Structure 1
Amino acid sequence: MTALTDAVKWNADGLVCAVAQDHISKQVLMVAWMNAEALRRTVETGFAHYYSRSRQTQWKKGEQSGHLQKVRALHLDCDGDALVLLIEQSGGIACHTGRATCFYREWDGTAWQTRLPVLKTEQEIYR
């Protein structure tokens, strides 16, 4: 596993930016952070694991919500400082707000507009 983590240019906090993208539509689902342990767990299990900067802990995407992210491919950029995970998203929901993607707001020139509907409320997801 050394080859897996040695090629990554970790930031000062030991993290790397990880972009989750739908493996079919190529829609960006979310952006999160990984440390070396999250990257190793992702490769070992085949499911996306991230590092929460606010909680200072590892987490498996979908562990509480059931909206797991099966990793179909993993890419490292040319500088080694960003990852793209091609994901099969369980339940069609990647965002904790109950939307398909975390990128549901669009700038219309004067304000941010919500462009995607809530598929499930947070209460329904996190009972």
Structure 2
Amino acid sequence: MTDTNDSLAREAGSLFLPKYDANGMVAAIVQHAESGEVLMFAYMNAEALDATRRTGRAHFWSRSRGKLWLKGETSGHFLFVQQILVDCDQDALVLKVLPAGPACHTGAPTCFYRELGPDGLSRLD
């Protein structure tokens, strides 16, 4: 296939052809399946994506630890995947999940608990 055919297949076809970046990653936005709230952002490689699809629980690639990471593995706050949306050129995903507890490692329900204003960050409580 040529690059043009690859683009056409990704954008209009029914084949899942994830477009990984130079580091083998695809961006993953995690959203609450019921409320629509954005819970977190992480990266997935092919191994994490495969494990997520196979188990129904969100797996990511921990860039800091250099290994596969099952969200909730130590905390019990698993993310149960209900749906995976794929963007037009297949380089970003939205995981619609039902969380079993807070999504953020800080204990906040979402990792996006602060707003950037003119004077810096303020907590959204």
TM-score, length of structure 2 as denominator length = 0.85
Instruction: Report the aligned-residue RMSD.
Output: 1.2
Larger radius of gyration: 2
1:16 and 1:56 map into 2 onto residues whose CA distance is 15
Match of 1:121 in 2: none
Residue 93 of structure 2: aligned partner: 83
Q: Secondary structure at the match of 2:47?
A: helix
91, 99, 108: which one aligns with 2:117: 108
Cα distance between partner residues in 1 of 2:121 and 2:89: 32
List alignment gaps of at least 5 residues for structure 1: 117-127
Q: Which runs of 5+ in 2 are unaligned?
A: 1-14
- Equivalent residues, number: 111
Structure 1 residues 11-22: aligned runs within 5 Å: 11-22=21-32
List per-residue Cα deviations over 1:54-100 (Å, max 9, x = no partner).
11100100010010000000011001110000000002x00000000
Distance between the aligned counterparts of 2:56 and 2:79, measured in 1? 9
Cα gap change, 1:6 to 1:24, in 2 (>3 Å): closer
Runs of 4+ in 1 over 2 A off after TM superposition: none
1:15-39 deviation per Cα after TM superposition (whole angstroms, max 9, x unaligned)? 0000100001100000000000100
